[in-house]
Amino acid sequence: HELRTPLTNIRLFVEEALEYCEKDPTAVSRCLNVINDESQRLDRSVAEILSVSQIEAGSFEVKRDDVHVDEMLQKLKVDHEAQAKEKRIAYEFDLPPKLPTFQGDRDKIALALHNLVGNALKYTLDGGRVVVSAQVEKTRLSVSVTDTGLGIGPEEIEKVFEKFYRSKNPMAATVKGSGLGLPIAREIARLHGGDILLESELGKGSTFTLILPVAEEKA
């Protein structure tokens, strides 16, 4: 479904753009915007499916880069500001003055955090609040994403980390998704020796916490 819907939309809007290409440039640009959004969605879905296949094949590997946590969180903030603004969601960061640099797969950890923040914004109603906070204790970094969104009932707390699982909550079902974001994010955390924990209350909101060991290497 997550592959077919964007493809169908791309095909339909390409046909429409071709039909209007001579007489109505605004209609064409509207079509191109839809095609642009839908191709990005398709690109993300294909990448998720590839990641899941790699996880299953045991070939989902982590690289070892310098992960600058402050830069990563700064980018996380900027990347989701438009999405938050569109829904009038207060999107806040509460960070300690000093954040570590550690060895890990920069792109994969960033992807896991983007999935958590993207979900918090998707599953929170207009006018809500999403807060990203971080704590460092000795050799452990925790990044929490707290939202005032739909929340998740106790019977679904573990299920949402299963591949393709999407909540039975009818409000959540209206939001587009593949059910792959959380299993991939948890696998990324576990490959780094960490995990993702979830606390949630239906109707109130959720906190997803990414925990990572961050032993800084001695020079």
The answer to whether residue 45 forms part of the interface with ligand ADP (CB under 6 A) is: no
Q: Which of 10, 111, 134, 160 binds ligand ADP (CB under 6 A)?
A: 160
The answer to whether residue 104 forms part of the interface with ligand ADP (CB under 6 A) is: no
Beta carbon of residue 178, minimum distance to ligand ADP (angstroms, whole number): 4
DSSP string, 109-164: HHHHHHHHHHHHHHTS-TT-EEEEEEEEETTEEEEEEEE-SS---GGGTTGGGSTT
Which residue lies nearer to ligand ADP by CB, 18 or 47?
47
- Per CB under 6 A, which of residues 178..197 are in contact with ligand ADP? 178-182
Closest residue to ligand ADP, judged by C-beta, is 177
How many contiguous H segments (helices) and E segments (strands) does the chain have? 6, 7
CA–CA distance, 28 with 18 (Å, rounded to integer): 8
Beta carbon of residue 21, minimum distance to ligand ADP (angstroms, whole number): 34
The answer to whether residue 147 forms part of the interface with ligand ADP (CB under 6 A) is: yes
CA–CA distance, 128 with 106 (Å, rounded to integer): 30
Which tokens is 137 given? Answer: 């204790």
Residue with tokens 């079902």: 173
CA dihedral for 193, 112, 123, 84, sign (positive or negative): positive
Beta carbon of residue 206, minimum distance to ligand ADP (angstroms, whole number): 4
Q: Which of 10, 17, 110, 152 binds ligand ADP (CB under 6 A)?
A: 152
- Contact footprint for ligand ADP (CB under 6 A): 115, 119-120, 123, 147, 149-150, 152, 160, 165-167, 172, 177-182, 206
